Amino acid sequence: MAVTILKGTVVSAPALGKLSIWENGYLIAENGVITGVFPTLPEQYAGAPVEDFGDALILQSFADLHLHAPQYPMLGMGMDLPLLDWLNAYAFPTEARFADPDYARAVYGQLARELVENGTTRVCMFSSLHREATLILMEELEKAGVTGYVGKVNMDRNSLPGVLEETTEDSMRETLRWLDECQDLRYIKPILTPRFTPSCTNELMAFLGKLSAERDLPVQSHLSENTSEIEWVRQLHPDCQQYWETYAKYGLWNSRTIMAHCVWSDQRERQAMAEAGVTMVHCADSNQNLCSGVAPVRTMLKEGVRVALGSDIAGGDHLSMFDVTAAALRASKARRILDGWETDLLTVPEAWYLATSGGAAYFGEQPGFAPGDPLHAIVLDDSALPQPHPLTPAERLERCVYRRQSGAIRAVWSAGRKVYTAE
* Residues at the site binding Zn ion, with contacts judged by CB under 5 A: 260
Name the DSSP letter for residue 13: E
Using the minimum distance from each CB to Zn ion, give the nearer residue, 171 or 193: 193
Do the Cβ atoms of 134 and 178 come closer than 8 Å?
Answer: yes
C-alpha to C-alpha distance for 423 and 417, rounded to whole angstroms? 18
The CB-of-229 to Zn ion minimum distance in angstroms stands at 11
The CB-of-69 to Zn ion minimum distance in angstroms stands at 11
Q: In this structure, is the dihedral angle defined by the CA atoms of residues 214, 216, 217 and 223, taken in order, positive or negative? A: positive
Using the minimum distance from each CB to Zn ion, give the nearer residue, 223 or 260: 260
The CB-of-300 to Zn ion minimum distance in angstroms stands at 18
The CB-of-66 to Zn ion minimum distance in angstroms stands at 6
| Edge-first strand listing for the sheet containing 62-68 | 62-68, 120-126, 147-151, 188-190
Encode burial over 74-95: b for 16+ CB neighbours within 10 A, e otherwise.
Answer: bbeebbebebbebbeebbbebb
Using the minimum distance from each CB to Zn ion, give the nearer residue, 164 or 260: 260
Using the minimum distance from each CB to Zn ion, give the nearer residue, 269 or 398: 269
Using the minimum distance from each CB to Zn ion, give the nearer residue, 140 or 229: 229
The CB-of-222 to Zn ion minimum distance in angstroms stands at 5
C-alpha to C-alpha distance for 7 and 225, rounded to whole angstroms? 43
C-alpha to C-alpha distance for 253 and 265, rounded to whole angstroms? 15
Using the minimum distance from each CB to Zn ion, give the nearer residue, 280 or 377: 280
Which residue is closest to Zn ion by CB? 260
The CB-of-193 to Zn ion minimum distance in angstroms stands at 10
The CB-of-418 to Zn ion minimum distance in angstroms stands at 31
For every residue of 52-71, DSSP letters joined together read: EEEEEEEEEPEEEEEEEGGG
| Beta pairing class for 147-151 and 120-126 | parallel
Which stretches does DSSP call E strand in 44-132? Answer: 51-60, 62-68, 120-126
**Residue 289's closest CA among 81, 109, 85?**
81
Do the Cβ atoms of 154 and 131 come closer than 8 Å?
Answer: no
The CB-of-400 to Zn ion minimum distance in angstroms stands at 27
Using the minimum distance from each CB to Zn ion, give the nearer residue, 148 or 367: 148
Using the minimum distance from each CB to Zn ion, give the nearer residue, 260 or 412: 260
Residue type at 312?
D
The CB-of-249 to Zn ion minimum distance in angstroms stands at 22
C-alpha to C-alpha distance for 356 and 129, rounded to whole angstroms? 29
Using the minimum distance from each CB to Zn ion, give the nearer residue, 124 or 136: 124
Distances (CA, A) of 4 to 50, 371, 415: 7, 13, 12
